[in-house]
Amino acid sequence: MKRILQVCFVMMILLSAACSREEKEANDRYVVPEDTMQVLPVKKDLPFKVKPLTEEDIKLDRELLYDKYTLDDVYPYKDTVRYVQWNIVRKCLAFIENMQADSTTTWMVFQNYKNRNGESPLVRTYVRDEYRRVADTLGVERYQSVPLYLHPDTLTPVRYGRDGSISKLIERTGNFYRVKPITLNDEWSVPVRYAKSLPDSVVFHHVIFVDRNNQNIATVEWKERGHWLIRSVNPATTGLHRPPYGKTTPLGMYLIQEKKSRMVYLKDGSSERGGFAPYASRFTNGAYIHGVPSAVPRTSIIEYSYSLGTTPRSHMCVRNATSHAKFIYDWAPTGSSLVVVIE
């Protein structure tokens, strides 16, 4: 009996080896055609999450597309020095890439330029300045802003959201969108008329950084994950708080919403034409990135001003050399380019 079991065991081993050999030979004879390999489906639902990027993961290379008036990373200013704050730029770029990691996100932009969608209701707690202008307790003015309601209350808004701000759409309920603004905490409800959804195809690959503290501007363009290209680094002039007409350029992240080859402006406190600013790209309220203004009666374009890169002096806009404003005007797609104002 023992002899029979040994023979059976040997036969099982030999049979298994023969089957393995035949299977290998069959596999060796079968070659997948190249054209078939190209259309094989790729599994999209990975069993793990992509690790979020950090500031240290962001690589920046200078590959300028505009090379006039270019600033060094550190440059002299009067009896001190100024900087291009690449550390903050990297941190913001990591944030921008991480927020786009979920390709199913629907992006919304707040819109109420010149109260076109209606004056926002009064917030629950507000302040009124000496010029009778209303703002929430965080300093965001009612004019040109959108009302934000703390979900699920939709009776009285709690604060205002700036025109041009970006949000993630969570859901629509009746006449309200429930959203998560990328630069605010909590989820908020906003009336449908104050928010516009962006196409599913939108990706934020063009970003403009405006530095209020150092009075400079830098443009960067996405190349691949974690890798961005510096396209220009220039002096700029931001807004000065000079009520009732002058306002600081607000900190935050905004979408370029529209462009004007010549943005006409009025004289302060008047309906009379004051002049024009060339190659203007609007990102929030009445704030544009534009070239050097030409005041009436002048009608020709001015290329450069000695005041660029010095101290804030515009009404809210970001002044540039006119040729650099034109570069941004041509380079940054409307509706998918971000403007990040830092300190």
Query: Tens of pLDDT along 55-105?
Result: 999 999 999 999 999 999 999 999 999 999 999 999 999 999 999 998 899
DSSP H or E run through 211: strand 206-211
Beta-strand pair 337-342/206-211: parallel
The residue ranges of every structural domain in the chain are 55-100+203-342, 107-197
pTM across the whole model: 0.85
List residues bridging with 75 in a β-sheet.
82
| Tokens linked to 111 | 């819109």
The CATH number fitting domain 107-197, selected from 1.25.40, 1.10.3470, 2.30.29, 2.30.30: 2.30.30
Alpha-carbon dihedral of residues 325, 331, 337, 343, nearest 10 degrees?
A: -40
Kindly give the residue spans of alpha helices, DSSP state H, lying in 100-134.
Answer: none
pLDDT digits (tens, 9 = 90+) for 6-59: 444 434 434 344 444 444 443 443 333 443 333 434 434 444 467 999 999 999
Q: How far is CA 224 from the centre of its chain?
A: 16
**Can you give the pLDDT at residue 212?**
98
**Can you give the pLDDT at residue 88?**
98
pLDDT digits (tens, 9 = 90+) for 249-289: 999 999 999 999 999 999 998 889 999 999 999 999 999 99
pLDDT digits (tens, 9 = 90+) for 205-250: 999 999 999 999 999 999 999 999 999 999 999 999 999 899 999 9
**Is 303's pLDDT higher than 90?**
yes
The answer to whether the peptide bond before residue 152 is cis (omega within 30 degrees of 0) is yes
Beta-strand pair 227-235/216-224: antiparallel
Question: Burial level of 57, CB count in 10 A (0-12/13-18/19+)?
Answer: middle
DSSP 216-285: EEEEEEEEETTEEEEEEEEE-B-B--BTTTB-PPPPEEEE--EEEEEEEEEPTTSSSEEEEEEEEEEEET
> Domain spanning 55-100+203-342: which CATH class is it, in words?
mainly beta
